[in-house]
Amino acid sequence: MSAVRIDNLSKRFGATAALSGVSIEIPSGEICFLLGPSGCGKTTLLRSVAGFVEPDEGRIFIGDADITRTPPHERGAAMMFQSYALWPHLTVERNVAFGLEEKKVPRAEIKKRVDAILETMRIKPMATRRIHELSGGQQQRVALARALVVQPRCLLLDEPLSNLDSRLRVEMRGEIRRLCKDFGLTALYVSHDQKEALAIGDRVAVMEAGSIRQVGAPLEVYRKPQSRFVAEFLGETNLLEGRASGATITTVAGSFETAPALDPSAGGDVLLSIRPEAWRLASAPAPVNSFPGRILETMYLGEMARHRIGLDAGPEMIVFELNPRPRNGSVLYIHVDPADVVPITKRT
């Protein structure tokens, strides 16, 4: 296993800054997601690590080796492309063996390693099939097998699940995480799918405009966003402008308590982020952070309902309810635990 370290990486394409001084370290054996909207620089960063893009400034390390100017095939990194890039004229086993053949690995060793990885990926019965005879999920497994069979120092994945239907995407999330952990791989994974990142990643780096806005464990980044951009990008949230005075934050909806309390000397304007699932519905007020309102609209989504609730004080809140029952038009209270009220001092 090898850690991956990126130091102050910058890349411009003409007048456009694709990367602006990006630095991040992925500890050995961790899966790190590069998450962000189209054009944020995540694919440029991944391709820089792979060796397909040459940075203007900065350095890239795999383990202790500076690989910034090393040719792609000598980096010890394997990349799985969004399109899978499989050879249609070759069988499954020949596709998987391709990288080993290029490295001049002895035939007996190729056979042994290909058979083993096909077994691990549960596609051994398809070894002699052509690529066009496979489903999308099976092709995805072949592409992943081809990347893993060369025993890379790190694995690079460029939105590998984007071509699969929703059921297969969910299934393959667990499979990719299992394989990375079983093989002890350090992985850098590009996606714009927040649920995918939260489900698979050990670490998430949220990117915007060529820079990393926040990096941390998935739960930490989701529950404690440090900016408006991160709060809104990682799923739905309720945002309220507020004014902090000691431990109390005053908004148009009313006063909130947060835990831990803000430094009493901090004072000033803040933005509150409250996730929809953090709210609780009740028929009576709670001791803190409780507000009366009425359900204006409900969308039933199977296991949960998405309510739009108008508060008596004026603003509207989005509230998720598990195991919902019909509530349209109900007058009720919503309340939130102080630990789920997240003050954001950055307005970016």
Q: What's the CA gap between 57 and 39, in Å, rounded?
A: 19
* Non-local CB neighbours of 43 within 8 Å, separated by 6+ positions: 158, 190
Residue 4 CA to residue 50 CA, distance in Å, equals 12
**In angstroms, what CA-CA distances link 176 with 122, 172, 185, 207, 236?**
13, 6, 11, 22, 26
Q: What is the pLDDT of residues 47-104, one digit of tens each?
A: 999 999 999 999 999 988 999 999 988 888 888 877 777 888 889 988 988 888 888 8
Which structural domain, as residue segments, surrounds residue 293?
237-344
Looking at residue 102, its pLDDT comes to 81
Continuous H helices in 31-80: 42-50
pLDDT tens-digit map of 312-345? 988 999 999 987 776 666 778 999 999 999 998 7
End position of a domain, from candidates 230, 251, 272:
230
Given 230, 256, 285, which residue is the final one in a domain?
230
| Same-domain status, 75 and 21 | yes
Q: How many domains does the chain have?
A: 2
Q: How far apart are CA 76 and CA 62, in angstroms?
A: 8
Torsion-angle region of residue 215: left (phi > 0), alpha (psi -120 to 50) or beta? Answer: beta
Q: Contact 19/10 with Cβ under 8 angstroms?
A: yes
Residue 50, SS3? helix
Q: What is the pTM of this model?
A: 0.86
Quick one: 92 and 36 in the same domain? yes
Same domain as 244, residue 226: no
Inter-residue contact 270 to 343 (CB < 8 Å): yes
- Looking at residue 266, what is its pLDDT? 57
CATH number of the domain within which 310 lies: 2.40.50.140
CA atoms lying within 13 Å on the CB side of residue 11: 26
pLDDT in tens, the chain (348 residues): 569 999 999 999 999 999 999 999 999 999 999 999 988 999 999 999 999 999 999 999 998 899 999 998 888 888 887 777 788 888 998 898 888 888 888 889 988 999 888 888 888 888 888 888 888 788 888 888 888 888 888 999 988 877 777 777 887 888 888 888 888 889 999 988 888 888 899 999 999 999 999 999 999 999 999 999 999 999 899 999 998 876 788 999 999 988 876 665 556 888 999 999 999 998 889 999 999 999 998 898 888 899 999 999 889 999 999 877 766 667 789 999 999 999 987 454
**Non-local CB neighbours of 185 within 8 Å, separated by 6+ positions:** 1, 29, 31, 148, 152, 154, 155, 179
pLDDT for the residue numbered 252: 92
Final residue in a domain of this structure, among 180, 211, 230: 230
CA-based nearest residue to 344, from 195, 244, 215: 244
Together in a domain, 177 and 96 = yes
**pLDDT at site 179:** 83
The reply to whether 105 and 185 lie within a common domain is yes
CB 251 within 8 A of CB 242: yes
Query: What pLDDT is attached to residue 288?
Result: 92
